[in-house]
Amino acid sequence: MEEGNSKHILILGKHQYMVDNLQNILSKEGYQVVGFDEVEKATEEYKHTYLDMLVFTGAVNPNDFSEMLKWKEEKFPASLVFEHHGGPATLAEEINAAFAKSGK
């Protein structure tokens, strides 16, 4: 595991199978990842005391997107937001680059 990869990531997506796929990829990179396909589940069940990044898949409903951003800003204002619109093959590289760019 690379230094810093124990960061906490929360994924929100439209379909649970997409969320599970991204979750598996990022978990293999050493990240602590949980994912949900519903805003209500995410906001009720996310129990970590800190969140490093909130990841949206490209298929998230705009209302859900707005609601999750509001929740993130209230609970974890310093966490990053990443929108993943591509295929899963580049996800880990993109997440690593986003953390590197932010200095976190």
B/e letters for 70-98, b = 16+ CB within 10 Å, e = fewer, are ebbeeebeebbebebeeeeeebbeebbeb
Q: Which residue has the higher pLDDT, 86 or 17?
A: 17
What pLDDT shows up at residue 5?
A: 60
The predicted model scores a pTM of 0.90
Residue 22, both tokens: 């991204």
Quote the CA–CA distance of 72 and 66 in Å, as a whole number. 10
Domains annotated on the chain, with CATH: 8-102 (3.40.50.2300)
Task: Give residue 78's pLDDT band: very low, low, confident or very high (50, 70, 90).
Answer: very high
Average pLDDT of the residues in 46-52:
90
Helices (H), the chain: 16-28, 39-45, 62-75, 91-102
Given a cut of 80, is residue 3 above it in pLDDT? no
